[in-house]
Amino acid sequence: MLRLSRPFRLVSPTVLSRVRCYAQASPLGVDHSIENNLQTETNRLSKTLTKFWEQVSLEETPENVTIKLDSKPLRTPLGNPLTLPQSRKLLSVMVLNEWSNLPSLSVKPYVLPLTSLVSRCIDLEKANEDGVDPELVAKIGGNREKLTEGLLRYLDTDTLLVFSPANEYEGALRKAQDELYLPIISGVEKFLSQINKDKKEVKLQILDADLHGLRGNAQSGETREVAKQYLDSLSVWDLAIFEKTVLTTKSFICGLLLLLNKSATVTNIPELQVSMEDIARAATLETIYQVERWGEVEDTHDVDKRDVRRNIHAAAIVAFGPPTSSK
Protein backbone atom coordinates (compact mmCIF):
# COMPACT_ATOMS: atom_id res chain seq x y z
CA MET A 1 0.00 0.00 0.00
CA LEU A 2 1.18 3.44 -0.83
CA ARG A 3 2.01 5.46 2.22
CA LEU A 4 2.96 9.07 2.50
CA SER A 5 6.26 9.33 4.21
CA ARG A 6 5.29 12.65 5.73
CA PRO A 7 1.57 13.15 6.02
CA PHE A 8 -0.10 16.37 5.00
CA ARG A 9 -0.46 18.80 7.86
CA LEU A 10 -4.17 18.99 7.61
CA VAL A 11 -4.85 21.67 10.14
CA SER A 12 -1.81 23.86 9.99
CA PRO A 13 -3.01 27.02 8.32
CA THR A 14 0.33 28.30 7.21
CA VAL A 15 0.78 25.60 4.62
CA LEU A 16 0.94 27.23 1.24
CA SER A 17 1.46 25.19 -1.84
CA ARG A 18 3.46 27.80 -3.66
CA VAL A 19 5.73 30.02 -1.70
CA ARG A 20 7.84 32.62 -3.36
CA CYS A 21 10.97 33.35 -1.47
CA TYR A 22 13.58 35.89 -2.28
CA ALA A 23 17.14 36.29 -1.14
CA GLN A 24 15.96 37.23 2.36
CA ALA A 25 16.50 35.09 5.42
CA SER A 26 13.97 32.29 5.67
CA PRO A 27 10.95 31.83 3.45
CA LEU A 28 7.65 33.03 4.81
CA GLY A 29 4.37 31.21 4.85
CA VAL A 30 6.02 27.87 5.35
CA ASP A 31 4.68 25.66 8.08
CA HIS A 32 7.35 26.00 10.75
CA SER A 33 5.36 24.13 13.32
CA ILE A 34 6.96 20.93 14.44
CA GLU A 35 5.07 17.73 13.89
CA ASN A 36 3.90 16.28 17.14
CA ASN A 37 2.38 13.03 18.24
CA LEU A 38 -0.21 14.34 20.64
CA GLN A 39 -3.29 12.15 20.56
CA THR A 40 -5.73 14.79 19.41
CA GLU A 41 -8.59 14.45 16.95
CA THR A 42 -7.11 16.90 14.47
CA ASN A 43 -3.73 15.12 14.53
CA ARG A 44 -5.36 11.76 14.13
CA LEU A 45 -7.24 13.02 11.10
CA SER A 46 -4.17 14.55 9.52
CA LYS A 47 -2.17 11.36 9.95
CA THR A 48 -4.72 8.77 8.94
CA LEU A 49 -6.80 10.91 6.59
CA THR A 50 -9.78 8.71 7.34
CA LYS A 51 -13.07 9.42 9.02
CA PHE A 52 -13.16 7.85 12.46
CA TRP A 53 -16.30 9.33 13.99
CA GLU A 54 -20.03 8.99 13.50
CA GLN A 55 -21.63 12.10 14.93
CA VAL A 56 -20.58 15.73 15.12
CA SER A 57 -22.39 17.97 17.54
CA LEU A 58 -22.21 21.25 19.42
CA GLU A 59 -22.23 21.54 23.17
CA GLU A 60 -23.28 24.89 24.53
CA THR A 61 -22.61 26.39 27.92
CA PRO A 62 -23.61 29.94 28.85
CA GLU A 63 -20.15 31.20 27.80
CA ASN A 64 -18.85 28.73 25.25
CA VAL A 65 -19.64 26.45 22.36
CA THR A 66 -17.56 23.29 21.93
CA ILE A 67 -17.50 21.13 18.84
CA LYS A 68 -17.74 17.44 19.71
CA LEU A 69 -17.03 14.27 17.81
CA ASP A 70 -18.98 11.35 19.23
CA SER A 71 -19.32 13.03 22.64
CA LYS A 72 -15.60 13.85 22.88
CA PRO A 73 -14.52 17.45 22.36
CA LEU A 74 -12.62 18.13 19.17
CA ARG A 75 -9.06 19.12 19.98
CA THR A 76 -6.54 21.23 18.09
CA PRO A 77 -3.12 19.91 17.02
CA LEU A 78 -1.64 21.11 20.31
CA GLY A 79 -4.33 19.41 22.34
CA ASN A 80 -6.55 22.35 23.28
CA PRO A 81 -10.29 21.82 23.05
CA LEU A 82 -11.86 23.57 20.08
CA THR A 83 -14.01 25.89 22.12
CA LEU A 84 -15.44 29.13 20.85
CA PRO A 85 -16.97 32.00 22.82
CA GLN A 86 -20.74 32.45 22.52
CA SER A 87 -20.11 35.61 20.53
CA ARG A 88 -18.77 33.45 17.70
CA LYS A 89 -21.75 31.15 17.52
CA LEU A 90 -22.13 31.57 13.80
CA LEU A 91 -18.56 30.38 13.37
CA SER A 92 -19.24 27.29 15.48
CA VAL A 93 -22.10 26.33 13.15
CA MET A 94 -19.82 26.72 10.16
CA VAL A 95 -17.11 24.54 11.75
CA LEU A 96 -19.76 21.94 12.55
CA ASN A 97 -20.88 22.19 8.95
CA GLU A 98 -17.34 21.54 7.76
CA TRP A 99 -17.04 18.37 9.79
CA SER A 100 -20.47 16.99 9.07
CA ASN A 101 -20.08 17.55 5.33
CA LEU A 102 -16.85 15.63 4.92
CA PRO A 103 -17.23 12.94 2.33
CA SER A 104 -16.28 9.97 4.45
CA LEU A 105 -13.45 7.45 4.04
CA SER A 106 -10.84 9.68 2.47
CA VAL A 107 -10.52 13.15 3.86
CA LYS A 108 -8.57 15.63 1.76
CA PRO A 109 -6.18 18.11 3.32
CA TYR A 110 -7.93 21.18 1.94
CA VAL A 111 -11.47 20.64 3.17
CA LEU A 112 -11.20 22.11 6.67
CA PRO A 113 -10.08 25.73 6.22
CA LEU A 114 -12.14 27.09 9.11
CA THR A 115 -11.09 24.39 11.55
CA SER A 116 -7.50 24.97 10.57
CA LEU A 117 -7.67 28.72 11.13
CA VAL A 118 -9.57 28.43 14.40
CA SER A 119 -7.08 25.83 15.66
CA ARG A 120 -4.27 28.19 14.81
CA CYS A 121 -5.99 31.00 16.72
CA ILE A 122 -6.52 28.83 19.80
CA ASP A 123 -3.05 27.29 19.78
CA LEU A 124 -1.36 30.63 19.18
CA GLU A 125 -3.28 32.14 22.07
CA LYS A 126 -2.15 29.34 24.38
CA ALA A 127 1.43 29.63 23.14
CA ASN A 128 1.44 33.34 23.97
CA GLU A 129 0.34 33.01 27.56
CA ASP A 130 2.86 33.96 30.19
CA GLY A 131 5.16 31.27 31.49
CA VAL A 132 4.41 28.89 28.68
CA ASP A 133 6.69 25.99 27.85
CA PRO A 134 9.21 27.15 25.20
CA GLU A 135 8.80 23.80 23.51
CA LEU A 136 5.17 24.61 22.87
CA VAL A 137 6.16 27.91 21.26
CA ALA A 138 8.62 26.07 19.04
CA LYS A 139 5.94 23.55 18.10
CA ILE A 140 3.69 26.23 16.70
CA GLY A 141 6.54 27.93 14.88
CA GLY A 142 7.34 30.97 16.98
CA ASN A 143 5.39 33.33 19.16
CA ARG A 144 3.91 36.73 18.59
CA GLU A 145 7.17 38.61 18.12
CA LYS A 146 8.39 36.23 15.46
CA LEU A 147 5.06 36.35 13.67
CA THR A 148 4.97 40.15 13.71
CA GLU A 149 8.45 40.37 12.33
CA GLY A 150 7.59 38.07 9.45
CA LEU A 151 4.37 39.88 8.66
CA LEU A 152 6.02 43.30 8.59
CA ARG A 153 8.13 42.17 5.66
CA TYR A 154 4.97 41.98 3.58
CA LEU A 155 4.48 45.73 3.94
CA ASP A 156 7.68 46.33 2.00
CA THR A 157 6.58 44.37 -1.03
CA ASP A 158 2.85 44.76 -0.62
CA THR A 159 0.78 43.77 -3.67
CA LEU A 160 -1.20 46.97 -3.32
CA LEU A 161 1.92 49.14 -3.31
CA VAL A 162 3.45 47.92 -6.55
CA PHE A 163 2.32 49.60 -9.76
CA SER A 164 2.91 48.20 -13.21
CA PRO A 165 4.34 50.23 -16.16
CA ALA A 166 1.82 52.48 -17.92
CA ASN A 167 2.35 50.88 -21.32
CA GLU A 168 1.49 47.33 -20.25
CA TYR A 169 -1.93 46.02 -21.38
CA GLU A 170 -2.49 49.30 -23.26
CA GLY A 171 -2.47 51.08 -19.94
CA ALA A 172 -5.56 49.23 -18.75
CA LEU A 173 -3.88 47.54 -15.80
CA ARG A 174 -2.23 50.73 -14.58
CA LYS A 175 -5.51 52.58 -14.84
CA ALA A 176 -7.28 49.93 -12.80
CA GLN A 177 -4.48 49.92 -10.23
CA ASP A 178 -4.66 53.70 -9.89
CA GLU A 179 -8.41 53.56 -9.42
CA LEU A 180 -8.38 50.69 -6.96
CA TYR A 181 -5.13 51.06 -5.04
CA LEU A 182 -4.59 54.81 -4.67
CA PRO A 183 -7.69 55.52 -2.53
CA ILE A 184 -6.92 52.51 -0.35
CA ILE A 185 -3.32 53.60 0.07
CA SER A 186 -4.30 57.11 1.12
CA GLY A 187 -6.89 55.60 3.47
CA VAL A 188 -4.28 53.36 5.06
CA GLU A 189 -1.92 56.31 5.42
CA LYS A 190 -4.69 58.21 7.21
CA PHE A 191 -5.41 55.25 9.46
CA LEU A 192 -1.76 54.69 10.36
CA SER A 193 -1.33 58.43 11.06
CA GLN A 194 -4.34 58.27 13.41
CA ILE A 195 -2.87 55.46 15.47
CA ASN A 196 0.67 56.84 15.40
CA LYS A 197 1.76 57.69 18.93
CA ASP A 198 4.04 60.48 17.68
CA LYS A 199 1.05 62.10 15.93
CA LYS A 200 3.16 62.40 12.82
CA GLU A 201 1.90 61.71 9.33
CA VAL A 202 2.77 58.27 7.99
CA LYS A 203 3.69 57.78 4.35
CA LEU A 204 3.79 54.51 2.45
CA GLN A 205 6.53 54.03 -0.12
CA ILE A 206 5.09 52.75 -3.37
CA LEU A 207 7.00 51.00 -6.13
CA ASP A 208 6.18 52.49 -9.52
CA ALA A 209 7.71 50.40 -12.29
CA ASP A 210 7.98 53.49 -14.52
CA LEU A 211 9.85 55.56 -11.94
CA HIS A 212 11.76 52.99 -9.96
CA GLY A 213 12.27 50.27 -12.52
CA LEU A 214 13.17 46.86 -11.28
CA ARG A 215 14.12 47.00 -7.69
CA GLY A 216 12.87 45.94 -4.31
CA ASN A 217 10.66 48.13 -2.19
CA ALA A 218 11.19 49.06 1.44
CA GLN A 219 9.23 51.15 3.92
CA SER A 220 10.84 53.74 6.11
CA GLY A 221 11.68 52.91 9.70
CA GLU A 222 8.91 55.16 11.02
CA THR A 223 6.24 53.49 8.88
CA ARG A 224 7.39 50.07 10.02
CA GLU A 225 7.25 51.24 13.60
CA VAL A 226 3.64 52.38 13.29
CA ALA A 227 2.68 49.19 11.47
CA LYS A 228 4.27 47.24 14.31
CA GLN A 229 2.29 49.30 16.81
CA TYR A 230 -0.85 48.27 14.99
CA LEU A 231 0.05 44.58 15.02
CA ASP A 232 0.90 44.76 18.71
CA SER A 233 -2.51 46.24 19.44
CA LEU A 234 -4.29 43.25 17.93
CA SER A 235 -5.65 40.35 19.95
CA VAL A 236 -3.95 37.01 19.28
CA TRP A 237 -6.99 35.82 17.37
CA ASP A 238 -6.96 38.86 15.14
CA LEU A 239 -3.24 38.44 14.58
CA ALA A 240 -3.73 34.84 13.40
CA ILE A 241 -6.52 35.97 11.08
CA PHE A 242 -4.31 38.79 9.85
CA GLU A 243 -1.58 36.27 9.13
CA LYS A 244 -3.93 34.06 7.14
CA THR A 245 -5.10 36.99 5.03
CA VAL A 246 -1.60 38.30 4.42
CA LEU A 247 -0.31 34.90 3.37
CA THR A 248 -3.24 34.49 0.99
CA THR A 249 -3.09 37.93 -0.60
CA LYS A 250 0.63 38.65 -0.20
CA SER A 251 -0.44 42.01 1.10
CA PHE A 252 -0.20 43.61 4.52
CA ILE A 253 -2.80 46.17 3.51
CA CYS A 254 -5.35 43.47 2.62
CA GLY A 255 -4.96 42.02 6.11
CA LEU A 256 -5.59 45.46 7.56
CA LEU A 257 -8.65 45.98 5.34
CA LEU A 258 -10.13 42.63 6.33
CA LEU A 259 -9.79 43.25 10.05
CA LEU A 260 -11.04 46.83 9.83
CA ASN A 261 -14.17 45.64 8.05
CA LYS A 262 -14.84 42.47 9.99
CA SER A 263 -13.34 42.65 13.45
CA ALA A 264 -14.53 44.82 16.30
CA THR A 265 -12.33 47.84 15.63
CA VAL A 266 -14.40 49.58 13.01
CA THR A 267 -12.90 52.47 11.13
CA ASN A 268 -14.62 55.64 10.03
CA ILE A 269 -12.38 56.19 7.02
CA PRO A 270 -14.64 55.70 3.97
CA GLU A 271 -11.80 54.60 1.66
CA LEU A 272 -11.16 51.60 3.87
CA GLN A 273 -14.69 50.29 3.81
CA VAL A 274 -14.51 47.53 1.24
CA SER A 275 -16.16 44.18 0.68
CA MET A 276 -14.32 40.88 0.79
CA GLU A 277 -14.73 40.56 -2.95
CA ASP A 278 -12.97 43.93 -3.35
CA ILE A 279 -10.05 42.61 -1.31
CA ALA A 280 -9.82 39.48 -3.43
CA ARG A 281 -9.95 41.57 -6.59
CA ALA A 282 -7.29 43.99 -5.39
CA ALA A 283 -4.99 41.13 -4.47
CA THR A 284 -5.34 39.43 -7.86
CA LEU A 285 -5.74 42.45 -10.12
CA GLU A 286 -2.71 41.70 -12.26
CA THR A 287 -3.81 38.09 -12.80
CA ILE A 288 -7.19 39.33 -13.94
CA TYR A 289 -5.55 41.34 -16.72
CA GLN A 290 -3.18 38.52 -17.61
CA VAL A 291 -6.13 36.16 -18.02
CA GLU A 292 -7.90 38.74 -20.14
CA ARG A 293 -4.91 38.98 -22.45
CA TRP A 294 -3.55 35.46 -22.58
CA GLY A 295 -6.54 33.35 -21.65
CA GLU A 296 -7.30 31.27 -18.61
CA VAL A 297 -4.98 28.37 -17.88
CA GLU A 298 -6.86 25.33 -16.68
CA ASP A 299 -6.00 23.87 -13.30
CA THR A 300 -4.30 27.15 -12.37
CA HIS A 301 -6.31 30.34 -12.75
CA ASP A 302 -9.70 28.80 -12.02
CA VAL A 303 -8.40 26.94 -8.96
CA ASP A 304 -6.44 29.94 -7.65
CA LYS A 305 -9.44 32.22 -8.02
CA ARG A 306 -11.52 30.05 -5.70
CA ASP A 307 -8.60 29.45 -3.40
CA VAL A 308 -8.00 33.14 -2.76
CA ARG A 309 -11.70 33.77 -2.19
CA ARG A 310 -12.32 30.81 0.07
CA ASN A 311 -9.34 31.78 2.21
CA ILE A 312 -10.30 35.44 2.47
CA HIS A 313 -13.88 34.56 3.32
CA ALA A 314 -12.74 31.96 5.85
CA ALA A 315 -10.64 34.64 7.54
CA ALA A 316 -13.65 36.98 7.45
CA ILE A 317 -15.92 34.41 9.09
CA VAL A 318 -13.47 33.83 11.92
CA ALA A 319 -12.83 37.55 12.35
CA PHE A 320 -16.45 38.58 12.57
CA GLY A 321 -17.85 39.66 15.90
CA PRO A 322 -16.67 41.22 19.12
CA PRO A 323 -13.15 40.32 20.27
CA THR A 324 -12.56 37.42 22.63
CA SER A 325 -12.49 37.96 26.36
CA SER A 326 -8.69 37.88 26.42
CA LYS A 327 -6.75 40.93 25.39
Partner 1 sequence: MSELTLSTYKSLLRSLVRSAKHNKIQQLQQDTKKQIALLTYNRIQLVRQQQEKGLDAMARSKVLKQLSAVGKKIEILKTKDPLKSKELLFYSHSKHLKDIVLSLKDDPRSLQHLKDIAAFVVNQSEYEQLIERYNPGLKMSQEEKVQKTANKVGLQVPE
**Which is nearer to partner 1, 256 or 316 (by Cβ)?**
316
**Which is nearer to partner 1, 228 or 313 (by Cβ)?**
313
Q: What sign does the CA torsion over 103, 106, 109, 115 have? A: positive
**Measured from the CB of residue 165, what is the shortest distance to partner 1 in angstroms?**
32
**Measured from the CB of residue 210, what is the shortest distance to partner 1 in angstroms?**
35
User: Which residues lie near partner 1 (CB under 8 A)?
Assistant: 1-2, 58, 89-90, 93-94, 96-97, 100-106, 108, 110-111, 113, 262, 275-277, 298-299, 302-303, 306-307, 309-310, 313-314, 316-317, 320
**Which is nearer to partner 1, 40 or 284 (by Cβ)?**
284
* CB atoms near residue 326 (< 10 Å): 11
SS3 string of the chain? CCCCCCCCCCCCCCCCCCCCCCCCCCCCCCCCCCCCCCCCHHHHHHHHCCCCCCCEEEEECCCEEEEEECCEECECCCCCECEEEHHHHHHHHHHHHHHHCCCCCCCCCCCCHHHHHHHHHHHHHHHCCCCCCHHHHHHCCCCHHHHHHHHHHHHHCCHHHEECCCCHHHHHHHHHHHHHHHHHHHHHHHHHHHHCCCCCCCCCCCEEHHHHCCCCCCCCHHHHHHHHHHHHHCCHHHHHHHHHHHHHHCCHHHHHHHHHHHCCCCCCCHHHCCCHHHHHHHHCHHHHHHHHHHCCCCCCHHHHHHHHHHHHHHHHHHHCCCCCCCC
**Measured from the CB of residue 131, what is the shortest distance to partner 1 in angstroms?**
36
**Which is nearer to partner 1, 45 or 317 (by Cβ)?**
317
**Which is nearer to partner 1, 169 or 320 (by Cβ)?**
320
**Measured from the CB of residue 282, what is the shortest distance to partner 1 in angstroms?**
16
**Measured from the CB of residue 121, what is the shortest distance to partner 1 in angstroms?**
17
Distances in whole angstroms, Cα of residue 20 to Cα of each of 26, 27, 211: 11, 8, 25
**Which is nearer to partner 1, 92 or 128 (by Cβ)?**
92
**Which is nearer to partner 1, 135 or 299 (by Cβ)?**
299
**Measured from the CB of residue 104, what is the shortest distance to partner 1 in angstroms?**
5
**Which is nearer to partner 1, 35 or 307 (by Cβ)?**
307
**Measured from the CB of residue 122, what is the shortest distance to partner 1 in angstroms?**
20
**Measured from the CB of residue 262, what is the shortest distance to partner 1 in angstroms?**
8
